[in-house]
Amino acid sequence: MAEQKDKNLPQEELPENTVNSKVKFSIGRVAELLRKMEKLIGIPLSLRSTSGEVVCKTDYFYGPCSYIRGTDSGCVRCRKVYKNIENRVIKRKVPYVCLCYCGFLIFAVPLEFRGEMVGTLIGSQILPVSEGNTVSDFKERFIQKAKELGLEETEEFNKSFEKVKTLDSDKQRPRFLSYLEEIAQHFVEIAIADKPWNVLLKEIKKKAPEFGKF
């Protein structure tokens, strides 16, 4: 289902002669490449232009978050989290990492072209793990939140946790953020040059040979 443009985003700051009007992420191979990138790294990705154009938001329908977003109150809370993150990146134009209200890591980086920010790339539904925060601990807390929203602990709901990607709380955050920044820059180039998947992956791995491994 198509997303509507967010009227609360600072669209009035983007005149028609800005470079933003020339970068269209919905054309060419961008959406297809974004999904292939998701499959490679195992982490849901979202891409939105600063004008509100949504290319891909599969994070809404991935793993246990898909159940939370299936409730009215959960959907409202999730949308508020994403809106706040996106507005922060648009305002500051620097990468940002935070935890959502359920305890997942969310990474957001600005997409830039010729000195202007043209969009935001988000990696989400990532669980930070450490000695004091295991997957089992998280699952127990998450299920409790789900029950508060009226969700039942079904077999399908429990299986959804198998799709969750984990990152070490300290060691892997900087690495993943650098990967996301690399992806972001290439996606801007793709929007202009319409590059195929094998070219994109080759260019990224040339700079980061271990790309996709955590």
Domain extent for 182: 30-206
- Tell me, yes or no, whether 25 lies in a domain: no
What pLDDT sits at residue 108? 94
- Tell me, yes or no, whether 74 lies in a domain: yes
What pLDDT sits at residue 10? 39
- Tell me, yes or no, whether 14 lies in a domain: no
Which mean pLDDT values do the consecutive 10-residue runs of the chain (214 residues) have? 40 41 64 82 83 64 78 86 90 92 90 86 86 80 84 84 79 82 82 81 81 70
What pLDDT sits at residue 88? 93
Q: What is the pTM of this model?
A: 0.78
Residue in the block written with tokens 């450490």: 130
What is the rounded CA–CA span in Å between residue 62 and residue 9? Answer: 25
- Tell me, yes or no, whether 2 lies in a domain: no
Residue in 131, 129, 135 with CA at minimum distance from that of residue 160: 135
- Tell me, yes or no, whether 130 lies in a domain: yes
- Tell me, yes or no, whether 214 lies in a domain: no
C-alpha distances (whole Å) from 125 to each of 67, 70, 161, 202 are 13, 15, 10, 26
- Tell me, yes or no, whether 194 lies in a domain: yes
C-alpha distances (whole Å) from 166 to each of 89, 169, 173, 207, 214 are 24, 9, 10, 24, 9
Output DSSP code: residue 214.
Answer: -
What pLDDT sits at residue 62? 67
Domains identified in the chain, total number: 1
What pLDDT sits at residue 92? 93
- Tell me, yes or no, whether 9 lies in a domain: no
